[in-house]
Structure 1
């Protein structure tokens, strides 16, 4: 794979955000390349980029990362055939975890989750047949309402993830992703990376590019032992069918992303434009140092992946992130990492702290749990893919709820960047939401998403032990781990 070089970035404390780069060639082998005019040129690829402007990642390099990656596929009520297409396109060296929050039928009613499990069994047979000596692809499935997983979270130290009304894990995409990461860390402790793929993708071949783009981006950074890395993807386009025709228009930015990208970029722009210093935490104390940016260019459009469902990161970072509930989970990454980077601008007042919780200048505690500084530098790479993304069209109400909770994650969790910057951003977001129907009718404010403590605060060994209960009489199913595992044994009948 060949990509444009990530040469422009902006540093905020220990957080470094790179401006968007692009996949230029899915194969990208070295040697003579062809320009758009069809003339062979050793210095330019088919998009006209000079070789000095691009970077090449070999298949061997990508494979080394992919074989250490767990891909989590959160799903709800997508068609089983669509989910199957997504999972089939994930590179075979990756481990796969399907986290389903589909509706489950009662007695005499088709159980959609069991249809998903049956699909994984069939897929495993088609991939490997009955050859028990062949290295099997390892896949897992679990339902988000699994009672044993909920009990494991409660006992292991994350009870706030549970719905007090029924004791199961709360509904929501962010909650499903948390469950997936916890399972990945518990059952694949030696894997160094975790990625996410949305289950509603109608173009399976794009999934292969997404996973390889993760691997390319992660391989561009230092090893996970030295630095945290997150890779976020922006689709080339989201083709939309023109009503009443067979014609499609290629939209380059989704309706939700268009809103949240703008306001997150405004946050980072206001930070750099308004203030002169920032604080960083060293040995428990705050010291004031000049801001450092790697680029003097404007940051007004810095964020292009606020709502990136397709993203991956080092496992250590996934365990440190405080994830937000529901659809606020992806934009909240930026806010949490900014706060956790030890970065807070000086505005003529001392930075207040209260038992590890960052406090705004009005004394109001923000977020959930202690805002522990990141233990190592963190980089965010934003990559634009070659493939478009086809998925089921969402109605305007759903899109409005998505951008409203995304803005709410920013609005209610702004880092202390000074009186004027915070005030203007909040006023602007509130005004926009009011004019576009995004305010919570009960409070008159932007929705305030729940923020969960990081998984690193759990007892992961205890969680692993308790999760085993779901293998016996819960919804957890494992495939490719051997004939004695609950998902594998029914697959192959010729050896029973």
Structure 2
């Protein structure tokens, strides 16, 4: 893969470095790029297949699933490079039709043809809830000691399973993508970001080149999704307030496709549901930005945030206006609740949320508005050996295919 390098601009806030958007020039730049060509005219950098493969071998790709079409999920699996460990965290229904069993059977058959390493677990399995209860990790549980149904909860489970298998990196890919080639590009972008990073604390975030839509019998390619446009604005307003200069550096506020080094992932808090992606940036700024607590900007402990634009468009399942409105509301709410959000930005966000509430009430949409009560603690509080032991002691919990 070849990208422009170095990034045109980097915003430094305490021990956080947020790089401006980088462009992909080649999705595949060859098997083993020669050293003299790895950086061309000081304007691009490339990573050969050998380097990408090495990083993929140390990376788990977590795919949260909820009642997706089996053929759609299989297409996503086909786009993930063979070296990666795939972790499917399903929240699909078990009654009246057991879609989860259908997913397990599909993965079983698929793995026989591809020899891919795949693990699949159901998010709401009572055994998994008991494991978290025994480990005193209650922030992921509801009032009945069951794991909540949110996307972020599935991601946290995926991170723990990746850590349990000794993975150095963990990436997240949505399960509703119609283009397997796009999935393949996402993972190569993750690997390229980690290859560029000079820190063990890294976050690689994908910016879609476009999201195709069909209208009046024509396909057109809008630049921004309906959520990203707004969450990016408020995150940039927040950064502008912190730095004192107007900025538009954030282009990946709701990047469903993103990746974290395990060193960073295990030390982060996670917000419940669909607010997880913007909250990752908020949490990084809260913990490492020196705004709330003083931090030291050392070569060892700084956080690098990469934002990389794809070549492939992002064409995914249309979940409807209710889903979009709920996601946007949760995203704005988590920015609004941040300790580093100032009064003026809070006022703007609250007015926007009131508008969304009015829209939701007219359409009888139920909005979840109190994400502040559901911040999940860092998983480094969980002894991973004990977690591994409890998972092994629950043989029906985790389905493993080609995984030792």
Partners of 1:440 and 1:378 lie apart in 2 by 37
* 1:309 aligns with one of 256, 260, 280: 256
Partners of 1:58 and 1:323 lie apart in 2 by 33
Q: Which residue does the alignment assign to 1:260?
A: 231
Q: Is the partner of 1:160 in helix, strand or coil?
A: helix
Give runs of aligned pairs for residues 443-482 of structure 1, distance below 5 A.
Answer: 447-449=370-372, 450-471=374-395, 473-474=396-397, 476-481=398-403
| 1:205 to 2:181 alignment | yes
Q: Is the partner of 1:382 in helix, strand or coil?
A: strand
Partners of 1:52 and 1:437 lie apart in 2 by 49
What per-residue deviation string (whole Å, max 9, x for no partner) do you get for residues 104-152 of structure 1? 12xxx53101111111111111124xxxxxxxx3210000011121111
Structure 2 residues not aligned, in runs of 5+:
32-36, 362-366
| 1:151 to 2:130 alignment | yes
Q: Which residue does the alignment assign to 2:62?
A: 72
Over 3 Å counting, the alpha-carbon distance change for 1:92 and 1:168 in structure 2 is same
| 1:333 to 2:334 alignment | no
Structure 1 residues not aligned, in runs of 5+:
31-42, 44-48, 129-136, 274-297, 346-350, 352-357, 359-370, 416-420, 483-496
Q: TM-score when scaled to structure 2? A: 0.91
Partners of 1:427 and 1:257 lie apart in 2 by 19
1:399 to partner: Cα distance:
1.2
- Please report the RMSD computed on the Cα atoms of aligned residues, expressed in angstroms: 2.7
Alpha carbons 2:118, 2:400 under 8 Å: kept: yes
1:157 to partner: Cα distance:
2.6
1:448 to partner: Cα distance:
3.1
Alpha carbons 2:210, 2:223 under 8 Å: kept: yes
* 1:227 aligns with one of 197, 200, 213: 200
Give runs of aligned pairs for residues 186-201 of structure 1, distance below 5 A.
Answer: 186=164, 188-189=165-166, 191-201=167-177
1:218 to partner: Cα distance:
0.7
Over 3 Å counting, the alpha-carbon distance change for 1:265 and 1:319 in structure 2 is same
1:412 to partner: Cα distance:
0.8
Q: Alignment length, in residue pairs?
A: 391
Higher helix proportion (structure 1 or 2): 2
Report the structure number with the largest CA radius of gyration: 1
Q: Is the partner of 1:184 in helix, strand or coil?
A: helix
Q: TM-score when scaled to structure 1? A: 0.74
Which stretch of the first structure deviates more once superposed, 152-161 or 85-94? 152-161
Partners of 1:470 and 1:238 lie apart in 2 by 41
Alpha carbons 1:400, 1:438 under 8 Å: kept: no
Give runs of aligned pairs for residues 389-468 of structure 1, distance below 5 A.
Answer: 389-415=314-340, 422-437=342-357, 447-449=370-372, 450-468=374-392
1:184 to partner: Cα distance:
1.2
Alpha carbons 1:404, 1:439 under 8 Å: kept: no
Alpha carbons 2:126, 2:146 under 8 Å: kept: yes
Partners of 1:398 and 1:101 lie apart in 2 by 16
Alpha carbons 1:230, 1:379 under 8 Å: kept: yes
Q: Which residue does the alignment assign to 1:239?
A: 212
1:396 to partner: Cα distance:
2.0
Alpha carbons 1:439, 1:447 under 8 Å: kept: no
1:56 to partner: Cα distance:
1.1
Over 3 Å counting, the alpha-carbon distance change for 1:199 and 1:344 in structure 2 is same
* 1:140 aligns with one of 80, 103, 119: 119
Partners of 1:438 and 1:408 lie apart in 2 by 15
Over 3 Å counting, the alpha-carbon distance change for 1:453 and 1:232 in structure 2 is same
